[in-house]
Amino acid sequence: MTIHHDSDALPRDRQAGVCLHISSLPGHYGIGEIGDEARRFVDEMVRMNLRVWQFLPTGPTGYGDSPYQPLSTFAGNEMFIELANLIRFGLVTSTEADSLLKLSRKSVDFGALIPKKLALLERAASRFDSQARSTTRGNYDSFVEKHNDAWLHDYALFRILKSKHGEKPWTEWEPKYVHREAKALKHIADEFGREIEYLKIIQFIFFRQWDQLKEYANGRGVTMFGDMPIYIALDSADAWANPEILNIDNDGMPESVAGVPPDYFSEDGQLWGNPLYDWDYHAKTGYEWWVSRFRQSLGLVDIVRIDHFRALEAYWAIPFNSDTARNGEWRLGPGDALLEAIRSDLGKLPFVAEDLGYITPEVDALRDRHSLPGMRVLQFDLADPHFDAGRIPECSACYTGTHDNDTTVGWFHGSPDDQRSAEEIRATQRMALEKTGGQEESIHTDVIKLALASNARLAIIPLQDFLGCGSEARFNMPGTVGGNWRWRFRKQDLSRATMDAVALMVEESGRAGGG
């Protein structure tokens, strides 16, 4: 086994970054978009000496609006398309876009947003042929030629059939569509040819806008840090079009599903419900699907966080129809074979391992053999009386908290949804104040400074912590459905004074260098 000593993911110098999902950007049309406001945020990052922008998965969301349950692992979330750009190109009128102006700017109302914005995007796509210049059309044809056989056509078919079946999961569709009978699929492709074309155009627009954002960010010295869910959703184009990659039967039903045993977030564990992979199949194909998946991701971002990395060593398999995640068992994952296959094809592994939860020496060894940085989360560490911030390894990314944690202010003071007892919260408060040397009123900046002062080559701070937000700004409560993924910030929230204070903290920590 080859041992790799230098990380492909971490910068050579100590850097600081921010975690903010695209949906949380400010803007007029109900959700953050990948246009002017995203570029403005890049400029604000530069002012704050932050050189890494981390965000959550960018696929189209399905069940529970979770970025970790996308309808496709390859497609882009059309809700992130910037409408102002479409208005400038005459594909949508400002009057048409006004229908979204009444939506909240403080949070995302997915139920109200999605049907309205999809209707606008379909209208834009209907005008694409007549109004797009020939050079743009040529780019579109190249986009379709590159992606159509790999995922694009199946994704468009999936969305059409899902709509035709009242948005039900594909396992509940008519059997001829569940089993992908060639005659039935051809009939749908012929009957809904125009609508399928619109969906492909919308994906083209997303990727064109994304490429422009990445080019702008990289040009300003900002690294784009993406996130890959380890599992795919059962109700996804991937599962429907490629059932052989999963342990599911001919009707799409799994024997066992994914989750984790009881942990910090839940005494019953977390029952995610994702289908598990047929690792024997992947091994026989040289992990071809996985290599394609990582190649696609690295075309969009510079670094990828592998969510739930520990499943590559061993994963928790829960019998289908279980009420909780307690009744599961550990099964061996692909381990070195998968990572070596990816390295063989792509030449490098610019990945950060999300190695949180129940981590064994075997998981640590797998991560270290491939020189993958792990994660350190101070909200977890500061509750440990034996924690020493000076011992955080250099080959790691240090966080105050993640998208699954409460904000640092909310974590410190506790909230109505807190799983900890009042005594546990007080004990954590005492240790946090002792180990940061800070005060209650400045706890968020004190924990930020601790992360920035660490040896970790990369320190990532959620924007909510830079802003000193309380539990009202929490992004996700693991194990719950509804009310998550909604928080947004407004332009006025990120004041000049705040930006200057962040810039000074980063500079004083020695993380503002030129890279």
CA dihedral (193, 195, 201, 207) positive or negative: negative
Report the alpha-carbon distance of residue 246 to residue 243 in Å, rounded: 6
Q: What is the rounded CA–CA span in Å between residue 347 and residue 334?
A: 19
Based on the residue annotation, tell me whether 404 is a catalytic residue of this protein: yes
- Which residue in 183, 170, 164 sits closest to 237, CA to CA? 170
Of 349, 373, 240, nearest to 295 by C-alpha is 349
Residue 24: partners with Cβ closer than 8 Å, 6 or more residues away: 32, 463, 475, 487, 488, 489
**The one catalytic residue among 33, 37, 82, 354:** 354
Q: Can you give the length of the chain in residues?
A: 515
- Dist CA 397 CA 399 (whole Å): 7
Could you tell me which of 476, 357, 467, 469 has the C-alpha nearest to residue 405?
A: 476
Q: Quick one: which of 255, 239, 327 has its CA closest to 289?
A: 239
Between strands 314-319 and 256-260, the pairing is antiparallel
Element (H, E) at 41: helix 36-47
Identify the active-site residue in 33, 82, 307, 355: 307
Q: Do 256 and 279 form a contact (C-beta atoms < 8 A)?
A: no
Sort strands 396-399 and 351-353 into parallel, antiparallel or unpaired. Answer: unpaired
Q: Is residue 500 annotated as a catalytic residue, yes or no?
A: no
Sign of CA dihedral 352, 376, 511, 473: positive
* Active-site choice (44, 82, 404, 465): 404
Q: Phi and psi for 186 in degrees, rounded to 5?
A: -65, -40
CB 50 within 8 A of CB 504: no
Q: How far is residue 166 CA from its own chain's centroid?
A: 27
Is 354 marked active-site?
Answer: yes
Phi-psi domain of 275 (left: phi exceeds 0; alpha: psi -120 through 50; beta: other) = beta
Residue tagged 């039900």 (tokens): 168
Pairing of strands 374-377, 396-399: parallel
CA 284 to chain centre: 29
- The tokens describing 199, both together, are 């969906």
Q: What are phi and psi of 456, to 5 degrees?
A: -55, 135
C-alpha dihedral, 338 to 342 to 348 to 353, nearest 10°: -40
| 317, β-bridge pairs | 258, 329
d(CA 231, CA 259): 10
Catalytic residue list: 307, 354, 404
